[in-house]
C-alpha cells in the first residue's frame, strides 16, 4: 500500500505482473463517487501474457463489477 487518505487509496501488487491501482473518492449526491485507474505491466513472456489477460478482464468490466460489489456492502457501524 502506498497511500491512504479520506480522498485517495493507491496500491501496488508485484509478481509476474505489476498492478498499480489508484482510487479517488469524492462526495456525490446520496453517497460517494469513486474513480479508479489501473496500470498493468508484465515482466518476461509469461508476465506479458498475464498482463494482456488482466487488461482484457478489466476492459470487460471486472473492475466495475468489483466496485459495484463494494458499493452495495453495508456501511460499518460507528462506535459511539
Please tell me the total number of residues recorded for the chain in this structure.
80
Q: Where are the beta strands (DSSP E) in 1-78?
A: 3-4, 8-14, 17-28, 31-42
pTM: 0.65
State pLDDT tens for residues 6-24: 889 899 988 889 999 898 9
The per-residue pLDDT string of the chain (80 residues; one tens digit each, 9 = 90 and over) reads 587 888 898 999 888 899 998 989 888 888 888 888 889 999 889 989 999 998 888 888 877 787 777 667 766 666 65
- Say how far apart CA 58 and CA 66 lie, in whole Å: 10
Amino acid at each position: 500500500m502506498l497511500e491512504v487518505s479520506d480522498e485517495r487509496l493507491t496500491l501496488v501488487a508485484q509478481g509476474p505482473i505489476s498492478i498499480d491501482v489508484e482510487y479517488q473518492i469524492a462526495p456525490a449526491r446520496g453517497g460517494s463517487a469513486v474513480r479508479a485507474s489501473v496500470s498493468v505491466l508484465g515482466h518476461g513472456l509469461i508476465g506479458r501474457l498475464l498482463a494482456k489477460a488482466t487488461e482484457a478482464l478489466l476492459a470487460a468490466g471486472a473492475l466495475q463489477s468489483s466496485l459495484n460489489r463494494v458499493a452495495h456492502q453495508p456501511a460499518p457501524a460507528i462506535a459511539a
